[in-house]
Amino acid sequence: MCAHVTARRHPHDDAPDTEEAFRRLAALPAGRQHDQLRTDIVEAWLPMAERLAGRFRRRGESDEDLRQVAALGLVRAVDRYDPDRGHAFESYAVPTVTGEIKRHFRDHLWTVHVPRRVQELRNRVRFACQDLAGGVSDRLPGVAEIADHARLSEEEVRTGLQALGSFSPLSLDAGVRGAADGRLLADSLGAADPALETVVDREAVKPHLAALPERERAILYLRFFQDMTQSRIAEQFGISQMQVSRLISRSCRKVRTEVLREASARITPPGSR
């Protein structure tokens, strides 16, 4: 332990006596000596902060990240503590560090945005389940039992139970519950229809396709919707493949010209025509 911080301890092993160090820190001007004493105080209290972080293990966050968040809360407590108010630093630091950790969970680890009331219900339901399980891992208390123990309504319990899964989403590689064919969750997800990208274009050309002669419409349909070759279309209509090619090119050019003309008319101000 650095000489700036005395070795006398509080009843808790990780609570050093830094009362005099805090008074000297408050009297020091900003500078190297002030920063060094501040660092010594923080280091002296780090075991306490890490102990508090340990209370939140196995909740979806790594131990290292928890220690870092606890250390951040400790630094803020050191910077804001006023020894002249007559309260022990420990009584100020513990809620500050704990609050920092809880805020970290609330702001960063929920996979979906959950109102604070729902978060509170989740915690009360989780603690009630732990109490009722009594250390038996497969003990699953019912909704009414949880409601009675936690002094909540059954509807509130159901809300809390639904929120229990918000910390850890299912993997897309997880199996679908009740599926006997080994289907994965990813197999049940939908996908964007690529045809949606052509909806506007299809609607734009529809009236102009309808205005084409019947033979040209039939040829375009067989070529682009039935994927028929020009040679087969030529056989069906009793014309040459070259005639089919010219009809397709002429029809497409006509439709394209009409669509562009309409688009230009829509974006051109009336006064500039």
Asked if residue 115 and residue 92 are part of one domain, the reply reads no
Length of the chain: 273
CA pseudo-torsion sign 77, 81, 85, 90 = positive
pLDDT recorded at residue 113: 62
Closest by CA to 161, choosing from 127, 113, 116, 136, is 127
CA pseudo-torsion sign 173, 178, 179, 185 = negative
Asked if residue 161 and residue 222 are part of one domain, the reply reads no
Asked if residue 123 and residue 97 are part of one domain, the reply reads no
Closest by CA to 10, choosing from 50, 53, 44, is 44
Surface-to-core class of residue 134, CB atoms within 10 Å of its CB (0-12 exposed, 13-18 middle, 19+ buried): exposed
Asked if residue 103 and residue 42 are part of one domain, the reply reads yes
Give whole-number Cα distances, 215 to 230, 237, 247, in Å: 14, 9, 9
Ranges in the chain, pLDDT < 50 = 1-4, 6-11
6 lies in a domain?
A: no
Q: What is the CATH classification number for the domain harbouring 137?
A: 1.10.10.10
Last residue of a domain, one of 108, 126, 160: 108
Last residue of a domain, one of 65, 89, 108: 108
Asked if residue 98 and residue 62 are part of one domain, the reply reads yes
Which residue type sits at 154? Answer: E
Work out how many domains the chain is built from and give that number.
Answer: 3
Asked if residue 101 and residue 46 are part of one domain, the reply reads yes
63 lies in a domain?
A: yes
28 lies in a domain?
A: yes
pLDDT recorded at residue 238: 93
Question: Residue 68 belongs to what domain range?
Answer: 19-108
Q: What is the DSSP letter of 67?
A: H
7 lies in a domain?
A: no
66 lies in a domain?
A: yes
Q: What is the pTM of this model?
A: 0.41
Asked if residue 99 and residue 60 are part of one domain, the reply reads yes
35 lies in a domain?
A: yes
Q: What is the CA radius of gyration of the chain?
A: 36
Surface-to-core class of residue 173, CB atoms within 10 Å of its CB (0-12 exposed, 13-18 middle, 19+ buried): exposed
Asked if residue 141 and residue 79 are part of one domain, the reply reads no
Which residue type sits at 59? Answer: R
CA distance 230 to 6: 95
pLDDT recorded at residue 132: 83
Last residue of a domain, one of 76, 93, 108: 108
184 lies in a domain?
A: no
Give whole-number Cα distances, 46 to 59, 81, 257, in Å: 21, 16, 75
The pair of three-digit structure tokens given for residue 246, joined into one six-digit string: 């010219």
- Side-chain-facing half-sphere of 157: CA atoms under 13 Å: 17
Give whole-number Cα distances, 226 to 58, 219, 222, in Å: 59, 10, 5
Q: What is the CATH classification number for the domain harbouring 23?
A: 1.10.1740.10
pLDDT recorded at residue 78: 92
Asked if residue 101 and residue 23 are part of one domain, the reply reads yes
Asked if residue 132 and residue 104 are part of one domain, the reply reads no
188 lies in a domain?
A: no
